[in-house]
Amino acid sequence: MILPSILLLVAHTLGANIECGVRPLYDSRTRYSRIIGGQEAEVGEFPWQVSIQDKGHHFCGGSIISEWWILTVAHCFYSDEIPPIELTVIVGANDLTTSSMEIQVANIIRHKNFQRLTMDNDIALLRLAKPISFDDLTVPVCLPLHPTPSSWHECWVAGWGITNSADKGSMKTDLMKVPMRITDWKECIKVFPKLTTNMLCAAYDNESYDACQGDSGGPLVCNTEPGKKWYQVGIISWGKSCGQKGSPGIYTLLSNYTLWIEKIAQIEGKPLDTKRPRIVVKKKTRGRSQSSKCPALGYPQSWLLSCLLPCVLLRALSNWE
């Protein structure tokens, strides 16, 4: 009798404190081929991916970084008039038409230095009204590695996209994925003169592939080795018009904001690491370097900007010039 209860306890503990960046369901399956290009994501392949919805309409992507927090971009919340109570976050779903876990948002925190014109500091956090319970389909992504590895093994973006917010029929309900390659910042600023040091560029891995990159606010995730943990390195922010071959997309460079994220989480009373020190006893505490500067905290004014512009294929990238 004792043994099963211990096992149960262990299982429960693991469930509540799942490691970040793992894909329990996806990686346990046998895979025979890996198609490269834009295609439907498999169930459990991006378990940190969320759909942010306003009264049931998908309008931006986001990622789970802890049981209380969703990471996304500031430009999705252009108006102070969106009351958090109207927003919900769908977790653990690939197909948005199936019923899935829906959680209400308690607070929207945009970076107070978000600049509408340059898109600098395009980052926001959503505090959930209740914590996510993690399982095979809902897993937090790891925050960036410090220092940033000189090269990544694989990078992906995913998103649902939408062509017309008023017409649910135009919405892509299955999560789509695209392989990405991070491009050199100095090369990218030649194409995008308004690039800031808080941004990174990534292009489609396969240059013959031609699409938008999923939803604003969605994560760019990379791993260092096959089968290893996934780290979020960027947040989909802006770019040139969809359908331009080889044109990189611009992402918020997440490694510049890890301290900002930790500070906000703390101020809001839901720190990122609440459970880790207590339960993951034997593991080393994650050594996150304190080297990156923390941009000031706060709440910006409203911006008139739609996240709902039409686009092709993966669609729904707003702010594409």
Catalytic residue of the set 216, 247, 255, 318: 216
For ligand NAG, the closer of residues 35 and 117 by Cβ is 35
Q: How far is the CB of 78 from ligand NAG (least distance, A)?
A: 23
* Nearest alpha carbon to residue 42 among 52, 56, 28: 28
> Which of 174, 159, 173, 177 lies closest to 37 in space, CA to CA?
177
Q: Which of 75, 165, 215, 318 is catalytic?
A: 75
Count of CB atoms situated within 10 Å of the CB of 279: 12
How far apart are CB 76 and ligand NAG at their closest, in Å?
22
Question: With contact defined as beta carbons under 8 Å apart, do 209 and 149 qualify?
Answer: no
Of 37 and 271, the one with the shorter C-beta distance to ligand NAG is 37
Active site residue 292: no
Instruction: Kindly state the smallest distance separating residue 145's Cβ from ligand NAG, in Å.
Output: 13
Q: Which is nearer to ligand NAG, 8 or 36 (CB)?
A: 36
- The C-alpha atoms of residue 76 and residue 80 are separated, in whole angstroms, by 11
Residue linked to tokens 């991070």:
182
- Would you say 151 or 208 has its CB closer to ligand NAG? 208
Min CB(293)–ligand NAG separation in Å: 4
In the set 120, 122, 215, 237, the catalytic residue is: 122
CA distances (Å), origin 70, targets 42, 62, 90, 93, 270? 21, 6, 11, 15, 12
Query: Is the bond into 147 cis (omega within 30 degrees of 0)?
Result: yes
Closest CB to ligand NAG among residues 37, 84? 37
CA distance linking residue 127 with residue 66, whole number of Å = 10
Six-digit token pair at 175? 């999560």
Q: Is 216 a catalytic residue?
A: yes
- Minimum Å gap between C-beta 121 and ligand NAG is 9
> Token pair for residue 142?
């790891």
Q: Give the residues lining the site for ligand NAG (CB under 6 A).
A: 36-37, 197-198, 206, 208-209, 253, 256, 292-293, 295
Between CA 77 and CA 61 the distance in angstroms is 12
Q: How far is the CB of 163 from ligand NAG (least distance, A)?
A: 22
In the complex, minimum distance from the CB of residue 196 to ligand NAG, in angstroms, rounded to a whole number: 8
Give buried/exposed letters for 9-31 (b at 16+ CB in 10 A, else e): eeeeeeeeebebbbbbbbeeeee
| Listed residue (176, 185, 154) closest to 248, CA to CA | 185
Task: Name the E strands within 111-153.
Answer: 124-128
Nearer Cβ to ligand NAG (68/260): 260
Q: Closer CB to ligand NAG, residue 47 or residue 295?
A: 295
Catalytic: 122? yes
Q: From the CB of residue 73, how many other CB atoms can be counted at a distance below 10 Å?
A: 30
Q: Is the peptide bond before 4 cis (omega within 30 degrees of 0)?
A: no
Catalytic residue set: 75, 122, 216
